[in-house]
Amino acid sequence: MIRCIAIDDEPLALKQIAEYVKKTPFLELKGEFGSAIHAMDFIQDEEVDLMFVDINMPDLSGMDFVKSLNNPPRIIFTTAYSEYALEGFRVDAIDYLLKPIGYSDFLKGANKAKEWFDLQSRDTTKIDSNEKFLFIKSGHKIIRINLSDIKYVEGMREYVRIHLVNQKPIMSLVSMKKMEENLSSDNFMRVHRSYIVNLDKITTVERNRIIFDEKVYIPVSEQYKPKFQEYLDKNFLL
């Protein structure tokens, strides 16, 4: 299932998109929002794969909202204004639906998204790993990475960036899900939709943030907070 949210300041348009999502078998509606500002906190804490976003909204436009996100879900824009189409595709939108939107047009856009996600699920990037190291493809190279050198893994759409101790980060075309499956749960934990951390490298936790140094603050989202808190409690010295 593709996890979706709908964002539109027009109640009737929002209701229509929500109903379209609910009647599409491979889509799952996770939330409906009357403004981009209300949606912002939700997508930071919850797993969202796809957003249906109106562009012309007060306070914060859909376009500015998408541009403000470091690692946004995939986007399908919904709008009454065709002049935004080029800019929409510049931010890598999957589709651009013009209002009024019939279900057939909606379904075409949803199928485009499904094709993209199906392609990602057939992730052919090979990871060979054991308890001490893994081999991962980066560009045309196959690189050995010692697990003890990994500080954290950052998800960046279809890529990940592996941050290492005293080394430059390594980029690889691989999903966060596949990285999570290949990293030992004894040493690594996913704490956010965009972050997996090496538990052995954590030195400070403050206000639901993991601090690696003065420049790196990893948020712990509500979705993953109970498991992380359980880890802290288990290792807490009273």
| The model's pTM | 0.61
Same-domain status, 115 and 141: no
Query: Two tokens at 222?
Result: 């509500």
| Res 76: pLDDT | 94
User: CA 18 to CA 51: how far, in whole Å?
Assistant: 11
Same-domain status, 115 and 17: yes
Same-domain status, 79 and 135: no
Same-domain status, 133 and 117: no
Same-domain status, 132 and 159: yes
| Res 68: pLDDT | 86
Long-range Cβ contact pairs of 223-232 (< 8 A, separation 24 or more) = 223/45, 223/46, 223/47, 223/193, 224/189, 224/190, 224/191, 224/192, 227/189, 228/189, 228/191, 231/189, 231/199, 232/205
User: CA 73 to CA 75: how far, in whole Å?
Assistant: 6
| Res 63: pLDDT | 85
The CATH number assigned to the domain holding 99 equals 3.40.50.2300
Same-domain status, 105 and 137: no
Same-domain status, 76 and 177: no
The range of the structural domain enclosing residue 93 comes to 2-121
Same-domain status, 40 and 115: yes
Residues 6+ positions from 23 with CB-CB distance below 8 Å: 103
175-202 mean pLDDT: 89
Report the share of the chain in percent with pLDDT over 90. Answer: 39
| Phi/psi of residue 143, nearest 5 degrees | -115, 135
Q: Which of 88, 121, 154 is the last residue of a domain?
A: 121
Beta bridge pairs of residue 129: 134
For residue range 100-158, list pLDDT tens digits in order: 999 999 999 999 999 888 876 665 455 665 678 888 887 777 888 999 999 999 987 67
Q: Which of 106, 121, 136 is the last residue of a domain?
A: 121
Same-domain status, 11 and 110: yes
Residues 6+ positions from 105 with CB-CB distance below 8 Å: 97, 98
Same-domain status, 149 and 206: yes
For residue range 39-90, list pLDDT tens digits in order: 988 887 788 999 999 988 888 888 888 888 877 889 999 988 766 555 555 5
CA-based nearest residue to 117, from 3, 231, 235: 3
Q: Which of 121, 155, 182 is the last residue of a domain?
A: 121
For residue range 78-91, list pLDDT tens digits in order: 988 766 555 555 56
The CATH number assigned to the domain holding 213 equals 2.40.50.1020
Please give the tally of structural domains in the chain.
Answer: 2
User: CA 172 to CA 142: how far, in whole Å?
Assistant: 10
Same-domain status, 34 and 66: yes
Same-domain status, 84 and 131: no
